[in-house]
Structure formats: C-alpha cells, structure tokens
Chain A
Amino acid sequence: GAVVSQHPSWVICKSGTSVKIECRSLDFQATTMFWYRQFPKQSLMLMATSNEGSKATYEQGVEKDKFLINHASLTLSTLTVTSAHPEDSSFYICSARAPKGGTEAFFGQGTRLTVV
C-alpha cells in the first residue's frame, strides 16, 4: 500500500513557541491530505483538508491562524501549531487519500505534541 510518513513522532515544546509537523507521501502524489487531532480516549477529529496549491479548508471551530497548513507540493503538507499552549497538547495525525481515485486513506504515524 501507499506510504505516508509523518515527522516528528513526538515533540515537547515550551508554551508560546511554534511547532511544525511534516506529512509526506513517499511513493505517490497526494493532491489532498487531511489533518486530524485526537485527544486521549476520543475519536479522530478532522481539523482541515489540505489541497495542493490552494488554501486549506478548516473545520468549524479550528483557528486557521493558529494551525497553519501549507501544501506546497504533491508530496508534502505541513501543519504549524503557532504560539502553542498546554491545551494544544494532543496526538496529531495526517492522512492522504489513495492515489488514482482510490478511496482508502493512508495515515502517517502521528505526532504526539506535549506543550509544557
């Protein structure tokens, strides 16, 4: 199956700093990537849909100025958590839709963000 690589796997940062998370499709071109957040014992919550070459579409309640998404190429999307606060601590996961019109979503490994 297609491979999606997410980096870093975990990060600890100080409150007020910014953190960038990368999501790469390694063996296919992903025109659309999705960013999710998952709090402990809760389901995946879609934050935004990232489309290559255009602005991301954010879900209701997600601050687009705080969670900056860039999808500059067909193989890379980045999520930057700006001015992070402890309540931003969560598990962030990206996924990309399968290539060639496929319907399966392939997930990155996820990033555990802890803001102290």
Chain B
Amino acid sequence: GQNIDQPTEMTATEGAIVQINCTYQTSGFNGLFWYQQHAGEAPTFLSYNVLDGLEEKGRFSSFLSRSKGYSYLLLKELQMKDSASYLCAVMDSNYQLIWGAGTKLIIKP
C-alpha cells in the first residue's frame, strides 16, 4: 500500500530552527510537495522536490532523498505565524497526490 509518515506534532521556540521529516512508500514517484495549512484554511504551496538534494526558498528549505524515500522541511528563524500544520504529499505514478496526515507545529515565544 501507499504510505506517508510524518510526526503528528512538534514544538519549537520563536527564532529557532525546526526540521519536519517525512518518509514515504508509494507506487511510483513524480515529486514531493510540502504545504502549509493554517487552521480552518486551505493548504498553501511551500515547495516541490523531484530530484535529490536541497531546495532553499527564503526561511524554508526542503530536502529529498529518493533512494531513502525521505524528505524534510526545514524552517529557520521561526516566527509565531509559522504555527500551522505542514503537509507532506507525494505524487504517485498516476499523478495522484498521496497526503500525509500533517505535522502540527506549535511555536512558543
């Protein structure tokens, strides 16, 4: 079966760095996405990785290792507004998105 695993909840301090991990097992791979979702709102796109390596975009970076079925989202200089759920999703061989359950990130002052 297809499976996406990510931690349920993480807590970090304002100004610090946090890494949210995602492991996956899917039938085929056409890229991995990270989305941010604030409570009661639709997800917003953060990053897309299809090749191995690190993609940096401002305070957010995303890493992919296809051989390990592993990705992480790195958030630097955390701000209170970063408190949200972070969703990992993999596009399978049928170009369908398989979603993880999301990681709720709590930022403390």
Contacts and interface: CB of A to CB of B under 8 A. Distances in A.
Asked if A pairs with B, the answer is yes
Interface of A: 1, 6, 34, 42-44, 46, 49, 91, 93, 97, 103-110, 112
Q: Is the interface of B mostly helix, strand, loop or mixed?
A: loop
A91 B101 contact: no
A10 B62 CA distance: 33
B91 A103 contact: yes
Nearest to B100: A43
A56 to B, nearest CB: 14
Given A103-B30, A104-B45, 17 more contacts: A42-B101, A43-B87, A44-B43, A46-B96, A46-B97, A46-B99, A91-B40, A97-B95, A103-B48, A103-B91, A104-B33, A105-B97, A107-B42, A107-B43, A107-B44, A108-B42, A112-B40
For the residues of A in contact with B, the DSSP-based class is strand
A7 to B, nearest CB: 13
Nearest to A110: B42
Contacts of B40: 91, 110, 112
A43 B99 contact: yes
Nearest to A111: B42
Interface size class of B (residues with CB under 8 A): 20 to 34
B42 to A, nearest CB: 4
B31 interface: yes
Which among A34, A44, A91, A104 has the highest number of chain B CB atoms within 10 Å?
A: A44
B42 A93 contact: yes
Given A104-B33, A112-B40, A44 B99 contact: yes
A71 to B, nearest CB: 17
A108 B41 CA distance: 9
Contacts of B91: 103
Given A103-B31, A104-B33, A105-B97, A44 B44 contact: no
